[in-house]
Amino acid sequence: MGLGIAGASFQASKEDFLTTRLDYVVDVIRKHGVNWTRKNSLWPFPFATACCGIELMATGASRYDIARFGAEAMRFTPRQCDLVICAGRVAIKMLPVLQRLYLQMAEPKWVISMGACASTGGVFDTYAVVQGIDQFLPVDVYVPGCPPRPETLLEGVMAIQRIVENDGVRSSEERGRGMRLAVQPTVRVGLGEREESKS
């Protein structure tokens, strides 16, 4: 992106420098529009119905800290949110609730289907559990795992950020029925590294 710094003099005074930075900011906003700010300020709706919700809480807590990705402002009303994180199995009694809160959210909005149960029904192949919310709801990102580790969920949030950055806010017709991306964790933290560094 054109930073507007190349042409700036190196003997710039303080005032010049400030102007240059302002140029930069204006440029970024002009080029990336509102998406750059929007992707760093996702407001998730924690639709936590089962054990995935515990991992969602861990993702929000200090160790993994979803605030690093600007998505720490979780609200319990769909009217203030733009990202549903559906964490856990959805019973047949719960699906109409999920659909209604999705309809109540203002555009733009995205959906993460977190964990095996929300995505496929998981091991709960019974009359009472919906076998994948994507049958009845547009899902943007699937986060696999049973339950997914917080790193995987963060990768899912980053996938949403990439969607927001690249596609931005488009009308409902353009966006169709969701992106249907599945994420894999990019960062693996294991004991092995620590043991290697000791020896």
Partner 1 sequence: MSKATQAIVDLLADEFSDIEFAPAPLVECKNKEREQLCVRVPPDRLLEVMRFLHDDERCCFGQLSDLTCVDYLDFPNARDRFGVTYTLVSITLGHRLWVKCFVNDPDPEVPSVTCVWKGADWPEREVYDLFGIRFTGHPDLRRIMTWEGFEAHPLRKDYPLHGRGEREDFKVVTREDA
Tokens encoding 148: 């997914």
Binding of partner 1 by 175 (CB under 8 A): yes
CB atoms within 10 A of CB 92: 11
177 binds partner 1 (CB under 8 A): yes
Q: Which of 25, 96, 97, 186 binds partner 1 (CB under 8 A)?
A: 96
149 or 175: CB nearest partner 1: 175
Tell me, by CB under 8 A, how many residues bind partner 1: 27
| Binder of partner 1 out of 10, 14, 62, 125 (CB under 8 A) | 125
Q: Which is nearer to partner 1, 68 or 75 (CB)?
A: 75
Q: Is 109 in the site for partner 1 (CB under 8 A)?
A: yes
Which two three-digit tokens encode residue 38?
């929007």
99 counts as binding partner 1 under rule CB under 8 A: yes
The full length of the chain comes to: 199
Write out the H or E segment, with its range, that includes residue 195. Answer: helix 191-198
**Closest alpha carbon to 83 in 165, 176, 150, 157:** 157
Name the segment binding partner 1 (CB under 8 A); options: 12-20, 69-77, 136-144, 158-166.
Answer: 136-144
40 near partner 1 (CB under 8 A): no
* Helix and strand counts by DSSP (H, E) for the chain: 8, 5
What six digits make up the tokens of 40?
């760093």
What torsion do the CA atoms of 150, 153, 157, 158 make, to the nearest 10 degrees?
80
In which element (H, E) is residue 85 found?
strand 83-87
Kindly tell me which residue out of 37, 40, 77, 126 binds partner 1, with binding defined by CB under 8 A.
126
Our CA angle for 47, 50, 51, nearest 5°, is 115
141 binds partner 1 (CB under 8 A): no
Contacting residue, 18, 26, 103, 182, with partner 1 by CB under 8 A: 103
Q: Which of 138, 144, 151, 181 lies at the binding interface for partner 1 (CB under 8 A)?
A: 138
Which backbone phi and psi does 82 adopt, to 5 degrees? -130, 10
Binding site for partner 1 (CB under 8 A): 92-93, 95-96, 99, 102-103, 105, 107, 109, 125-131, 135-138, 172-173, 175-178
